[in-house]
Structure 1
């Protein structure tokens, strides 16, 4: 089955995209990739999101699947430059789908959205019908991208689906909680983090996320719907940080400054019933995943 399927991964130099390239190649897909970097090789294209030049990708090749892993997954960036964040996280989805509509109407489109669309939850676990009230421009821009997918599904018959990724981590990620902890551990005896430490996240290791994508491609309806991608397990930031600091051998002190960071939700735990109906089960627990992540960090040296 897989060796006949062609998948285009846009955002292939990012955390999820780069891992997806290797994963689907191992499965036997014909993988094509595109991103905004100075690199040329067979099956690889460079795109400029401000020119919205996605049409050339579909004009010269037909794909079975397009995975959009492009954009900027930095909440603070959306406060600093909301227009560019909108361009990279919302307008590009419109441009990709318009290119599909014109040149590759049978291509299935997966949009990587974010749990940021929920904001601070009114109840836990958070299902896909939970009220949507983002607490950052980034969250709003991801929500707009989902609405565009629904528009193209409803009015143009394009097969679209958005996944709401919760707290993904693993090899290739050079930002966010665990990367920041490691970097600070190299220079400080006391590590200070924002918040109280009681904030919670629903962590998912990159291999589990990719497994979820595989199941979605194989089994989902692609009618403009959304699916949570997480593990239905709530872990406090304090506990997650202490687990990782123990793994890396940090002997100093961890403190929290009790200052809320703009755009950060208080608690996250996903209802993943829809994903589980497609066959999903977690294969990597948090401790195992953090050990794998630290091993990758050590190999960077």
Structure 2
């Protein structure tokens, strides 16, 4: 099966359009001829039990669904930080679980014919017992963030089983690219910007499966276009395991001055040691990662060093 390269998705309602992945998804879909409608920003309404404007958000969302009759809803909004989920688990719960339930209810009520795709995270796996990890492996999250993503997945899966909605889930592994201002790729560059010696957490042998954000956007299109949409999950990654030491080496070699990379040996709470995805399922839909890590790193360094980054 191949991607329907000449067939745009039609009208797509996108939550989290101003976020990192949302920005890339919107850009890709618009380039493919899709009409993208931005959902109202949900951050203030779902910042915890004291969030404000939830009723207004839901009213605006219902109006958009009724007016635009989207063929697809891509849910890329929500809390997206493991450390912040430990510091404020209530906020993470509202931003990932309550928001997802509200969105499912709104789609079921006002656009039941639309496909609904949840952008989830590899954090639901925790530390897999074996690699590469497949979609049918047990879920054992290590953080409130991972647990709340798992709960959001359950909501979306239940919507397919009990309410007849066409839904699917993409579990994004370590996404990076221009515009990313958190996580390990950004952290390495920030520390390298400040001095010739950088000190990172862990041992350097910890690994991740990195995927460029443009490839995430292409995978989203593949799943919505060719997926079964019966509540199933798809790993979205490169399928390659890369150690943090290797990543750091790729980044610093793109810099004009030598950088000494050191590791403190301490692994933060909620951090798995190794990740590598089995991407056979999403490949069966016609998806192939297009940006090698070496090229993606070069692009990221060029973006980071641009004048606009530190504004």
Q: If the length of structure 2 is used for normalisation, what is the TM-score? A: 0.90
Say whether 1:71 aligns with 2:78.
yes
**2:149 & 2:8 partners in 1: Cα distance?**
32
Match for residue 142 of structure 1 among 142, 149, 161:
149
What is the Cα deviation at residue 56 of structure 1?
A: 3.2
Say whether 1:220 aligns with 2:227.
yes
2:39 is paired with a residue of what secondary structure? strand
Question: What residue is the counterpart of 1:97 in the other structure?
Answer: 104
1:242-267 Cα distance to aligned partner (Å, 9 max, x none) = 11111123413111100111111000
What is the Cα deviation at residue 295 of structure 1?
A: 1.9
Question: What residue is the counterpart of 1:43 in the other structure?
Answer: none
1:248 is paired with a residue of what secondary structure? coil
Match for residue 5 of structure 1 among 7, 10, 16:
10
Say whether 1:48 aligns with 2:77.
no
What do you get for the CA RMSD once the two structures are aligned? Answer: 1.6
**1:274 & 1:3 partners in 2: Cα distance?**
22
Say whether 1:15 aligns with 2:28.
no
**1:163 & 1:180 partners in 2: Cα distance?**
25
Cα separation, partners in 2 of 1:156 and 1:76, compared to 1, 3 Å: same
Question: 8 Å contact 2:25–2:214 — kept in the other structure?
Answer: no
**2:110 & 2:26 partners in 1: Cα distance?**
23
**1:204 & 1:275 partners in 2: Cα distance?**
14
List gaps (5 residues or longer) in structure 2: 1-5
2:194 is paired with a residue of what secondary structure? coil
1:84-137 Cα distance to aligned partner (Å, 9 max, x none) = 101111111110110011110001001000000000110010000111100000
Question: 8 Å contact 2:191–2:198 — kept in the other structure?
Answer: yes
What is the Cα deviation at residue 4 of structure 1?
A: 7.2
2:31 is paired with a residue of what secondary structure? helix
What is the Cα deviation at residue 61 of structure 1?
A: 2.4
Match for residue 31 of structure 2 among 26, 35, 52:
26
Paired positions, count:
293
Cα separation, partners in 2 of 1:200 and 1:4, compared to 1, 3 Å: closer
1:1-301 aligned at under 5 Å gives the runs 2=7, 5-36=10-41, 48-49=45-46, 50=51, 51=54, 53=58, 54-299=61-306, 300=308
**2:93 & 2:9 partners in 1: Cα distance?**
35
**1:48 & 1:250 partners in 2: Cα distance?**
45
Question: 8 Å contact 1:135–1:263 — kept in the other structure?
Answer: yes
Question: 8 Å contact 2:9–2:71 — kept in the other structure?
Answer: no
1:36-75 Cα distance to aligned partner (Å, 9 max, x none) = 38xxxxxxxx983441523333233210011111012110
Cα separation, partners in 2 of 1:91 and 1:104, compared to 1, 3 Å: same
1:207 is paired with a residue of what secondary structure? helix
Bigger CA drift: 52-61 or 138-147? 52-61
Question: 8 Å contact 1:35–1:47 — kept in the other structure?
Answer: no
1:238 is paired with a residue of what secondary structure? helix
More contact order relative to length (CA 8 Å, sep ≥ 6): 2
Q: If the length of structure 1 is used for normalisation, what is the TM-score? A: 0.93
